[in-house]
Copies of this chain bind each other. A is one copy, B any other.
Amino acid sequence: MVSTLQERLVRSAATVDSSVTLLADFQRWFRERLDADESRVEIIPFTAMRGWDFAPDTHNLVHETGRFFTVEGIRVRMPGAPVEEWRQPILHQPEIGILGILVKDFDGIPHFLMQAKMEPGNHGGLQLSPTVQATRSNYTRVHKGRAVPYLEYFQRTERHRVLADVRQSEQGSWFFRKRNRNMLVEVAEDEDIEVRDGFRWLTLGQLHHLLAVEDLVNMDARSVLACLPHSPLDPADTFPAPLAAGPHGTVAPGWPGQGRHALHGDADILSWITGLRTEREVFTERIPLREADGWHRTAHRISHESGRFFSVMAVDVTAGGREVGGWTQPMIEPHGPGVAAFLLAYADKVPHVLVQARAEPGYTDVVELAPTVQCTPRNYTHLPAGATPPFLEDVVEAPADRVRFDTVLSEEGGRFFHAFNRYLVVETELSAVPEEPPHYRWMAVRQLLDLIRHSHYVNVEARTLIACLHSLAV
């Protein structure tokens, strides 16, 4: 009998030593690449950038070719938020890139083709990345750069099996409406795939093991892994069809999964999101960077007068083995590490997480579903006590035996410099949150996966945590 995708993914998650790649071999290989990596990243003054300059009229930071991205300003109004109006710099990169992971069965076990890739913002240089990270300029080849390896599998999918293909948002505080196309494409078992230098086939079990290593699996890889259509955390996964759900998620008799249910029915979850997106007002207007009041430029940094939030800065990169030998670019450097955490609880054996509907100025559609806690704690020290993010204490002060996941991972190293978040999954009881605050809902992991198939629902921090949740199945 042919296995279902779900069964194969569960097998892959249970496989930590594959005959294709032994975990210890991978670790040795990765360490050797780290040792051999000669890339160097240096913080430089803005004036030392090559090809980048502040536009005379707007003071936006732009590349002379118009390529890559720009640093601009936005003016934000969020009536009802703790801070209702502000201005800030933001990255503008309207083109949609491809983040793709190639999947292939070896002996009936799906493996994922991962890449050891250097990005200037990575603390350690190399991180484990998707098979493909390609900007639109890369994949349309308008600039005749070197071809991106394996890109053809994501551009012509007819002969393959698409497991996921969805534009997902990225950081809404640092990016203006940035989306990347997240893809998982499975090739047939007999398709011959050359493993190029810098790439390795890994099982889900191996990836899950590596996710728990600090600063190793990069944001793009986590985001794509979150788009897997099934969670190994919930191997029964016989959750009924969304439309079979009755009020409060009860299901029609006779269905597999009968008796299993989500706390809130799908229609109620969608209605909650629609209500917030209809009623909540977020006005984000692009302005010249020059008009970002409160932000000041020195030779090396553009920073807020309070010292909080982040700086815009510039780096000079000397790379070994990347597309070009070296380059300079602006980056965003967050001030102080962040915390992103899900509270996890089981309702009748069905895993649920407490989801926050969160507005960020760069989102395309008002609010997205975010972790229970997502904040940079030090940004809140100047605000009154009531403005402290809900549930922050519950996660950072949880007893060790309730902490199911706790690892510092970093955000996209191509744009963000040493952007660390401590990602936590803390198990609790439903009764610990007797009443959900208006912007919070318990959602079954299965419900989040149903929404992640569509754009603009699940934010990038929540996607990292979903990849981490998958890993708890091991």
Contact = CB atoms under 8 A, between A and B. Distances in A.
A243 B450 contact: yes
Nearest to A446: B243
A229 B243 contact: yes
A278 B5 contact: no
A147 interface: no
A166 B270 contact: yes
Given A242-B241, A254-B256, A164 B4 contact: no
Nearest to A181: B278
A247 B243 CA distance: 21
Given A254-B256, A275-B165, A278-B167, A240 B243 contact: no
A271 interface: yes
> Within the oligomer, what is the number of copies of this chain?
2
Interface in A243-282: 243-244, 246-247, 252, 254-256, 266-268, 270-271, 274-275, 277-278
A453 interface: yes
A183 B268 CA distance: 12
Interface residues of A, number: 42
Determine the main DSSP class of A at the interface with B: mixed
A278 B229 contact: no
17 contacts: A4-B252, A5-B246, A157-B271, A161-B247, A162-B268, A165-B267, A165-B270, A165-B271, A165-B274, A239-B241, A240-B241, A241-B241, A242-B453, A255-B256, A266-B453, A270-B453, A365-B455
Interface of A: 4-5, 96, 157, 161-167, 181, 183, 229-230, 239-244, 246-247, 252, 254-256, 266-268, 270-271, 274-275, 277-278, 365, 449-450, 453-455
Given A157-B271, A230-B243, A454-B454, 14 more contacts: A161-B267, A162-B267, A162-B268, A162-B271, A165-B275, A166-B270, A167-B274, A167-B277, A167-B278, A181-B278, A229-B267, A240-B241, A241-B244, A242-B450
